[in-house]
Amino acid sequence: MDVREATLADRPAVTALWRAAGLVVDYNPPDDDFDRAVALPQSAVLMGEVDGRLVASCMVGDDGHRGWVYYVSVDPRSRGDGYGRRIMAAATAWMQERGVRKAELLVRPNNGRVIGFYESLGWVEEPRVIFASWVLPKYPEQEKAS
C-alpha cells in the first residue's frame, strides 16, 4: 500500500470511503472536514492506495499539544488485509515527523469492534471526561434558518 497526502481533487473518493466505512454523521459535514484538514498546515488527510485504488484513509492533525487521528477508514471490501494497521502506522509516522509526542483518537463506546482494533495496535483507553460546546450550529441548515 502506498500512502500519500490527499489534495482537494481527492475529496470525492475519500469522503465516499468515509461514508462506506460508516464514519459520517449528519452533524459533521465530511466535505468541510476534508477541506479544512487539507488546507491547514497542521493537518492532513492520508490516503492508502493499492494499484491506484483507494483502500484506506485517515485524517491527522497536530493541535500544538498532541496529535489527533480521525476518520480512520478501510474499504469494506478490503477489511482484514492489514490496511487499517498500515494507515495507522502512516498516521504515527506523520506525527513523529512533526515532533508530536502523544496521539489521541475518539471512539464511540458502543463500537467494540473498533475498540478491539485500536487495542490490538497497542493503544490504551485513558479515563477522561470529554466536554463539548457547539461554537457554530450543530446542523448546517440551522445557520441558514437564523
Here the CATH number for the domain that contains residue 70 is 3.40.630.30
| b/e per residue 68-80 (b: at least 16 CB within 10 A) | bbbbbbbbeebee
Mean pLDDT along residues 54-62: 98
DSSP 60: E
Residue 13 structural domain: 2-145
Residue 20 has what pLDDT? 95
pLDDT, tens only, 68-117 = 999 999 999 998 899 999 999 999 999 999 999 999 999 988 888 899 99
Q: Are 44 and 59 in contact (CB under 8 A)?
A: yes
- Taking Cα atoms as reference points, which of 117, 93, 97, 98 lies closest to residue 107? 117
| pTM greater than the 0.85 cutoff | yes
The count of structural domains within the chain is: 1
Longest CA span, the chain: 47
Cα atoms in the 13 Å half-sphere on the side-chain side of 24: 15
On whether the CB atoms of residues 5 and 44 are closer than 8 A, the answer is: yes
User: With bands split at pLDDT 50, 70 and 90, how would you rate the model's confidence at 142?
Assistant: low
